[in-house]
Chains A and B, each alone.
Chain A
Amino acid sequence: MNIIFYLAAAVAIVATLLVVTRLNAVHALLYLIVSLLAVAVVFYTLGAPFVAALEVIIYAGAIMVLFVFVIMMLNLGPQATETERGWAEPELWFGPALLCGVLLGEVIYLILRMPTGTTLARVGTPEQVGVALYGPYLLGVELASLLLLAGLVGAYHLGRRAPHEEPGGGV
């Protein structure tokens, strides 16, 4: 099972690297879906099958479909890749990449230095997750529902057309 974890982790990192470097938005999106599926395999090997299923259904399914819809609605066309190439100047990437590399090196050093132990080969079943979710974390669930309602109202308000753009359209 360990080799599956490392393989999936390597796939996730490579796919994410490709997401970061692609110029075409749809290509980046498809690589991100591969990365999310690999992370779902990682979750499964770590003993979290319920979360692995949610990762596939909600992240790789619903959220990525939202991105695909928006890219389709924007209707960017072939010149978008050229524009993106013009924006992707190496000097624009150098500073952030260098600074983030330094921070990542520090994080890796600190993680490898501290005594952490190994993961337990124990499965957190969906039943246990549900009991915890509706027991000690009930307030969190209520807050999450409020957040989703706010997101729904916000997306509806932002998504409608302004009255001066299209008289009679929208509310």
Chain B
Amino acid sequence: MATVPVAHGLLLAGVLFALGLVALLGRRNVIFMLLAVEIMLNAAGVAFIAAGARWGRVDGQVMFLFILTMAAAEVSVGLALVLQFYNRTRTLDVDAATSMKG
């Protein structure tokens, strides 16, 4: 098992999170925005695993399991919303979502 500086693990998490954030802010396609959210959740998991490896405890891994569960629930609801959105507007542009109860 590797003995890398934990700062490098945290840097990896930071870079991945920033990439996901840029994609979330810059994209207009709903599918890509959901992908960006997945990238950011995964980056948070990397930070937890790195911090857990720093202290040699499994709490970081347990937290990652919770993040995994939340990501699964989020993506199922999110994709169902995307399908409804596409059925109503015939586009994936988030700017088209300007009315509620359409």
Contacts and interface: CB of A to CB of B under 8 A. Distances in A.
Chain A contact residues (Cβ within 8 angstroms of B): what range? 35 or more
Contact of A97 (B7, B26, B28, B81): B26
Given A67-B79, A73-B83, A129-B62, A119 B26 contact: no
- Interface majority SS (helix, strand, loop, mixed), chain B: helix
Contact residues on B (Cβ < 8 Å of other chain), bracket: 35 or more
A contacts with B: majority SS: helix
Given A13-B12, A116-B54, A100 B21 contact: yes
Contacts of B64: 48, 51, 54
B62 A137 contact: yes
Interface of B: 1-12, 14-16, 18-23, 25-29, 31-32, 34-36, 38-39, 42, 45-46, 49-50, 52-62, 64-66, 68-77, 79-84, 86-87, 92-93
Kindly list the 5 A-B residue pairs having the minimum CB-CB distance in the complex, ordered from nearest: A151-B73, A96-B25, A158-B80, A119-B53, A104-B18
Interface of A: 1-2, 4-6, 9, 12-13, 16-17, 19-20, 25, 28-29, 32, 35-36, 39, 42-43, 45-48, 50-51, 54-55, 58-59, 62-63, 66-67, 70-71, 73-74, 76, 80, 84, 87-88, 92-93, 95-97, 100-101, 103-104, 107-108, 111-112, 114, 116-124, 128-129, 132-133, 137, 140, 144, 147-148, 150-152, 154-155, 158-159, 161, 165
Given A17-B19, A59-B71, A96-B25, 18 more contacts: A16-B20, A16-B39, A19-B39, A32-B35, A42-B12, A43-B49, A47-B53, A54-B65, A59-B68, A66-B79, A74-B86, A97-B22, A100-B25, A120-B55, A133-B62, A140-B62, A151-B72, A154-B77
29 contacts: A4-B2, A5-B4, A12-B16, A16-B20, A28-B35, A32-B38, A47-B53, A50-B61, A58-B68, A58-B72, A63-B38, A63-B71, A67-B75, A70-B82, A96-B26, A100-B18, A116-B54, A119-B5, A119-B50, A120-B54, A120-B56, A124-B58, A129-B61, A147-B69, A154-B80, A155-B76, A158-B80, A158-B83, A159-B84
